[in-house]
Structure 1
Amino acid sequence: MRTSEPSTFPRNAWYVAAMAAEVQDKPLGRQICNARMVFYRAQQGQIACVEDFCPHRGAPLSLGRVCEGKLVCGYHGLEMGCDGRVIAMPGQRVRGFPAIKSYAVEERYGFIWVWPGDREQADAALIPPLHWHANPEWAYGGGLFHIQADYRLMVDNLMDLTHETYVHAASIGQAEIDETPCKTEVHGETEVVTSRFMHDIPAPPFWQMALRSNGLADDVKVDRWQICRFTPPSHVLIEVGVAHAGKGGYAAEDAHKVYSVVVDFITPETEDSMWYFWGMARKFNPGDAAVTEQIRAGQHKIFSEDLEMLERQQRNLAEHPERQLLKLSIDAGGVQSRKLIAQWIDREQPVQRPAAAQA
């Protein structure tokens, strides 16, 4: 028998909390998995994270400032340490104040990662490796959206790319996506992979632009691939690209293709809102900043279309909680990803043992 309230997200996991550039001289307040946190840079620029709650009067510490590596409350000047303990307060004796919660936090790959759950279980080795980061053969550009929708709707969206034909018809959508079946595989409790390979098709506008930017012809048939990899708690990395038809498709040499990884880090804020960190790492023409910005702007437009769809979907679902949604073959990636999320949540729930029989 479960004793705790049901949750919609695992807490003992690493989530992207911010882009590293968001946390500089000032503290940053952000709500993650229903917990209000404040991120700031302590001594030597080391990232720190504590509850966004001053133990004096409950003011948000994110409205304060950072002074010599200490977080200073903007209400009465109380100073906090990165371990959640009170350090000092002008004219007051505060050493006996109760500590607030501090969180395991890491800065890696240009992101700030936080572990909302049991700090003792946090292992930095579990942060997913991003092999393209700081690799001169790759370039990256991305951004952040705040979306009023259940984070699992975004997982569904990214693990079923048939929606591209309709939502993104002017950029990456094409009928061949609908016409080509996809394959979904589950690898234990660590990964769901949905893949689709299309052969001898025209390149849609976005990929025509990518081909041109790499000095390749954009008016010939191509082979196209989409390989969506979900890993708990809510990360989706999608290998995408096109190669001139007949050159080997996904396995083609770099001279004949444009290859990228769409980066999607989806962080629940509450049960019906999320932080969506998006971007694209590309392995072609990495030194061209104009191409990076062109792709980033194109992605921004594409994901803005998703944002509108998901927020309206969320409103519909909230208004009709009694309705059961259909599950089709194209939904397999999202369905299996949700099963993994549920498994991760379930193993965090304490089990109430039956009371000993009374004499």
Structure 2
Amino acid sequence: MFPKNAWYVAATPDEIDEKPLARTICNEKIVFYRPAPGQVAALEDFCPHRGAALSLGTVVEGQLVCGYHGLAMGCDGKTVSMPGQRVAGFPKIRSFPVVEKYGFIWVWTGDASRADPANIHVLEWADNPKWAYGGGLYHIQCDYRLMVDNLMDLTHETYVHTTSIGQKEIDETPVTTKVDGDHVVTSRFMDQVMAPPFWRANLRGAGLPDDQPVDRWQVCHFHPPSHVLIEVGVALAGRGGYHADPKDKVYSVVTDFLTPETETSMWYFWGMARNFMPGDKSLTAQIRDGQAKVFAEDTAVLEAQQRNLSAWPSRRLLMLNIDAGGVQSRRVIDRLVAAEQPRQETLAA
């Protein structure tokens, strides 16, 4: 269950080179390709001739050529040519609104007339020389909403990420949840704690001591359709915490773009943007590698969770106070999905 009238991250620019890229998003089989440098197009991955996958073809002079019989498609889904055939009567296949922005390829899988690129969530750190970004992509066999739950309740870090970002103070510190329209925020502030391994490494990377108490924060922002941006960091204790001077803290934004593939699988575009030591490429690589290990641990838990839920679909799950962020985020998703459903007309007796 997912909204379709929304912008989803479909790929990173480097995934679409001279070859087409096949990717299923919101149950739509889509082929992405570049008709020209700096441009991107998205079509239904279905040749109107015999139903072959267009993604197995090639791009020739800006057109997507089917690898089965040479049928050439335009960016609008209209057949342009085919060897020895007249193509004027060929049916048009679906094209999808697609935009390259903020270092990602975004696709709209719903009503094309409602696709406004201005509504793509603003990423203030993108293309900003004061920030550095590193990330990756995981293909995960679980309902994307399970990842929403996971990211909007970071209590699990104490148990899942014991060697990286977990610490007992996460369990011991209450979390606050607020809702502002479709924006859900959960926040946790931990004062006078020792930084866990991942953050000790970042303190060292920023030239700060890693053996002193710190004030740590986690502020999770859910934005529809399924984006979770998490403000995280630590500051030397007593220097103002979240509001400390940049010289006394390490501050980052964990980026989580959760793109549904099917009802039980997803594409997870993860990364971290930071505003300290932005020019240090080795630090970027170090943080990315550390994140990759953390999210791999989440993947194992979520895929096992999905297998359980698929095996016992009628089992009722408990809802606790720590689940408030995920519950509120799911309510936003449910509301958006319901708004896209056809209205049932009531006939008068």
Distance 2:39 2:89 in 1: 26
- After superposition, give the CA deviation of every residue in 1:248-297 in whole Å (9 maximum; x if it has no partner): 00000110000000000000000000000000001111111110001000
Match of 2:72 in 1: 79
Match of 1:150 in 2: 143
Distance 1:89 1:105 in 2: 26
Per-residue deviation at 1:44? 4.3
Is 1:92 aligned to 2:85, yes or no?
Answer: yes
Is 1:33 aligned to 2:17, yes or no?
Answer: no
Which one of the candidate residues 247, 260, 264 is aligned to 2:239?
247
Alignment of 1:1-359 (within 5 A): 8-188=1-181, 190-355=182-347
Distance 1:154 1:226 in 2: 17
3-state SS of paired residue (1:45)? coil
Per-residue deviation at 1:95? 1.7
Distance 1:42 1:129 in 2: 26
3-state SS of paired residue (1:43)? coil
Distance 1:264 1:238 in 2: 8
3-state SS of paired residue (1:117)? coil
- After superposition, give the CA deviation of every residue in 1:53-85 in whole Å (9 maximum; x if it has no partner): 000000000000101110000111100000000
Per-residue deviation at 1:45? 3.4
**Structure 1 unmatched runs, 5+:** 1-7
3-state SS of paired residue (2:163)? coil
Per-residue deviation at 1:46? 1.2
Match of 1:3 in 2: none
**Structure 2 unmatched runs, 5+:** none
Cα pair distance change 1:45/1:283, threshold 3 Å = closer
> Normalising by structure 1, what TM-score?
0.96
> Aligned AA for 1:106?
V
Distance 1:38 1:19 in 2: 14
Per-residue deviation at 1:210? 0.3
3-state SS of paired residue (2:170)? helix
- After superposition, give the CA deviation of every residue in 1:149-208 in whole Å (9 maximum; x if it has no partner): 0000000000000000000010000000000000000111x2100000010110000000
Distance 1:103 1:350 in 2: 21
Distance 2:209 2:230 in 1: 24
Per-residue deviation at 1:355? 3.2
> Aligned AA for 2:187?
S
3-state SS of paired residue (2:134)? strand
Per-residue deviation at 1:243? 0.1
> Aligned AA for 1:48?
A
- Superposed CA RMSD in Å reads 0.8
> Aligned AA for 1:245?
A
Distance 2:106 2:256 in 1: 14
> Aligned AA for 1:284?
F
> Aligned AA for 2:174?
P
Per-residue deviation at 1:35? 0.5
Identical columns (%): 67
> Aligned AA for 1:128?
H
3-state SS of paired residue (2:46)? coil
